[in-house]
Chain A
């Protein structure tokens, strides 16, 4: 049976009518049409589906969409200001932390939450902050460097 409710994503309210068993990832991608958030393992292991709910990272593949009503949801589309990438996005590109790009939206969301909590994280704190996100291309070093640079003010 469908539930009718609203989700607030990147400061926009979306009225929805979806089954209560639907996951947040599917609703964001197919009902709302924001496809930046990726489906990787679809089982909470890889972090490609990471979004922020009230600023905290959540695996959207395994979170019920109905449970996110009344919260502030942020997806990767919410990071840039118009055509202007945010500093973390720009640093990730500049240091070569993007290869195939599939993990990138999830990495950005976890790193955004980390930087909101720690303005000067140690390398170990950065690793822990990204520990729910798998990347099979970069070997992580450049992603960590991009987070470090952003924390350092670049």
Chain B
């Protein structure tokens, strides 16, 4: 049994190579252990004092680099994220309560691998890569490569996720994440959808990506290539909703039936595309989109 408080990435990699497991905020790891999902690992290395993991900055060569140890509370307000990766801020703003957001991290959300994670669909539509580092070297995986099933990733036990790296965004781009929730705090997505769009000079869709949460064993992308070149109108939004519902392979559980999830994920996808397009056109829609479009607004 050991508990190491690391100060540098190298400290962490050494501890991981010796068999320790990383703990960031512990809001999945400790809560899960206390609920009996999996015992607390005997050897832990704490990431919360590694400053190198807690920064957001430009990626050399273009794009944004978000340290895995950045908390949801930071992501909600960070000007770079809100400006160029708005859907991540939309998602982080919905996580748990202020306490969950102050403690919980982006890297923990991603590496926990829940199919209902809120930042996952935004990262996928933004074409993020997860940077994984170990004493053996550094590699980058796309989100599709990283998530292999509910609660599992392609990362080796000695690999630390150091950052989520987003490519540079073109002008006239926007993204949004919308989730169906029964309460406006302390909630898990019933279903969720993210969209990222780039508009051409004539206002038609130059790039569109849509991804879904809580409707499959992992976050899933929707094939929306048929929408490229079209102007966003009701027909396109209806086609997005249909494509999203067709992509979903949801389960029945106590939170929702599979049928309800399949239908509502289409509605969320449509709303996400609509909000992303409006943001791409320069309309300021506040974070999180959920509240800005009236979901869960206090009466």
Interface residues of A (CB under 8 A from B): 1, 3, 20-21, 23, 42-45, 47, 50, 56-59, 61-64, 66-67, 69-70, 110, 113-114, 123-124, 127-129, 131-133
Which of B27, B184, B298 meets A62, CB within 8 Å?
B27
Which of A43, A67, A124 meets B34, CB within 8 Å?
A43
Give the interface segment out of B81-89, B97-105, B140-148, B171-179: B97-105
Determine whether the beta carbon of A110 is less than 8 Å from that of B98. Answer: yes
Within 8 A of A (CB), among B27-63: 27, 30-31, 33-35, 40, 44, 46, 48-49
Q: Given A63-B103, A67-B26, are A47 and B298 neighbors across the interface (CB < 8 Å)?
A: no
Chain B nearest CB from A51 CB (Å) reads 9
Within 8 A of A (CB), among B267-283: none
Q: Which residues of A sit under 8 angstroms from B40, Cβ to Cβ? A: 21
CB nearest to A66 among chain B residues:
B3
**Alpha-carbon separation in the docked complex, A114 to B97 (Å):** 12
**Alpha-carbon separation in the docked complex, A124 to B152 (Å):** 37
Determine whether the beta carbon of B99 is less than 8 Å from that of A70. Answer: no
Determine whether the beta carbon of B99 is less than 8 Å from that of A47. Answer: yes
In this assembly, does B135 line the interface, its C-beta being within 8 Å of a C-beta of chain A?
Answer: no
Which of A21, A44, A114, A124 meets B98, CB within 8 Å?
A114
Determine whether the beta carbon of B98 is less than 8 Å from that of A23. Answer: no
Determine whether the beta carbon of B98 is less than 8 Å from that of A3. Answer: no
Q: Given A43-B35, A123-B298, are A131 and B186 neighbors across the interface (CB < 8 Å)?
A: yes
Determine whether the beta carbon of A3 is less than 8 Å from that of B3. Answer: yes
Q: Given A3-B3, A43-B35, A67-B46, are A62 and B30 neighbors across the interface (CB < 8 Å)?
A: yes
Chain B nearest CB from A111 CB (Å) reads 11
Chain A nearest CB from B283 CB (Å) reads 22
Determine whether the beta carbon of B100 is less than 8 Å from that of A132. Answer: yes
Determine whether the beta carbon of A42 is less than 8 Å from that of B102. Answer: no
Q: Which residues of A sit under 8 angstroms from B206, Cβ to Cβ? A: none
Q: Given A58-B102, A66-B3, are A132 and B298 neighbors across the interface (CB < 8 Å)?
A: no
CB nearest to B102 among chain A residues:
A56
In this assembly, does B79 line the interface, its C-beta being within 8 Å of a C-beta of chain A?
Answer: no
Determine whether the beta carbon of B34 is less than 8 Å from that of A42. Answer: yes
16 contacts between A and B (CB under 8 A): A23-B30, A42-B34, A43-B31, A43-B35, A57-B99, A57-B102, A59-B99, A63-B103, A64-B30, A64-B44, A66-B3, A67-B26, A127-B298, A129-B98, A131-B186, A132-B97
Q: Which residues of B sit under 8 angstroms from A20, Cβ to Cβ? A: 1-3, 44
Which of B23, B73, B100 meets A67, CB within 8 Å?
B23
Chain B nearest CB from A122 CB (Å) reads 10
In this assembly, does B185 line the interface, its C-beta being within 8 Å of a C-beta of chain A?
Answer: yes
Q: Given A43-B34, A62-B31, are A67 and B98 neighbors across the interface (CB < 8 Å)?
A: no
B 7-33 binary contact with A (CB < 8 Å = 1; else 0): 000000000000000010011001101
CB nearest to A61 among chain B residues:
B34
In this assembly, does B5 line the interface, its C-beta being within 8 Å of a C-beta of chain A?
Answer: yes
CB nearest to A133 among chain B residues:
B97
Q: Which residues of A sit under 8 angstroms from B31, Cβ to Cβ? A: 43-44, 62
Q: Which residues of B sit under 8 angstroms from A44, Cβ to Cβ? A: 27, 31, 100
B 185-202 binary contact with A (CB < 8 Å = 1; else 0): 110000000000000000
Which of B3, B98, B100 meets A113, CB within 8 Å?
B98
Q: Which residues of A sit under 8 angstroms from B49, Cβ to Cβ? A: 70
Which of B1, B2, B34, B98 meets A132, CB within 8 Å?
B98
Q: Which residues of A sit under 8 angstroms from B98, Cβ to Cβ? A: 56-57, 110, 113-114, 128-129, 131-132
In this assembly, does B167 line the interface, its C-beta being within 8 Å of a C-beta of chain A?
Answer: no
Q: Which residues of A sit under 8 angstroms from B103, Cβ to Cβ? A: 56, 58-59, 63
**Alpha-carbon separation in the docked complex, A56 to B73 (Å):** 10
Determine whether the beta carbon of B27 is less than 8 Å from that of A131. Answer: no
CB nearest to A55 among chain B residues:
B102
**Alpha-carbon separation in the docked complex, A128 to B84 (Å):** 25
